[in-house]
Amino acid sequence: AILAQGSKQRPAHAVVPHTLQLQLQGAMVSVEELPWKRDQLDERKALFKECDPNGNYYCSLAEIDNILSSGKYDYGPLSPEQVNSAMLHAFNEAKNFGGDERGCPADYIEHREFRVFLEIFVHKVQDKEHEVDGALDDSYKE
């Protein structure tokens, strides 16, 4: 089915993750619901796809910020500056988490580093000290 430009309706056969359904209905999603846990692969893939408009499996901080700061997520009492600071710190910790990047790719979050980024980001926003489960997510390969 072809949708009118700007329409928020989706074809009846489309499978839409729960968090995306909430976003389409206009409800803000709590930052705790970001898909950083290992068992949230489908939701994480959908979020990564949103953050990766070029489809090259790399996301810049600006691309991630564009989605996570779009008003879809509720960061509680934190100011935008506090959220941006947490995002920058999480991005810098997660990029090149595998240690095998040099040059330009080291300035981006790779698809397999995205889960680590989300985990660090959620815990920084919650202001929790947390030991990161540093296993890279190789389940993105299609």
Per residue of the chain (142 residues), give pLDDT as tens: 444 554 444 444 444 444 444 445 567 889 989 999 999 999 999 999 999 999 999 999 999 999 999 999 999 899 999 999 999 999 999 987 767 666 666 789 988 899 999 999 999 998 865 455 555 555 544 3
Domain span including residue 76: 39-129
Kindly state whether residue 89 falls inside one of the protein's structural domains. Answer: yes
Query: CA distances (Å), 41 to each of 18, 44, 76, 100, 138, in order?
Result: 13, 5, 25, 23, 11
24 within some domain: no
Q: How many domains does the chain have?
A: 1
- Position 68 in a domain: yes
| CA–CA distances in Å: residue 46 to residues 7, 20, 41, 84 | 19, 9, 9, 22
Contact 110, 125 (CB under 8 A): no
User: Could you tell me the two tokens for 7?
Assistant: 């329409």
* Residue 22 placed within a domain: no
Give a yes or no: residue 23 inside a domain. no
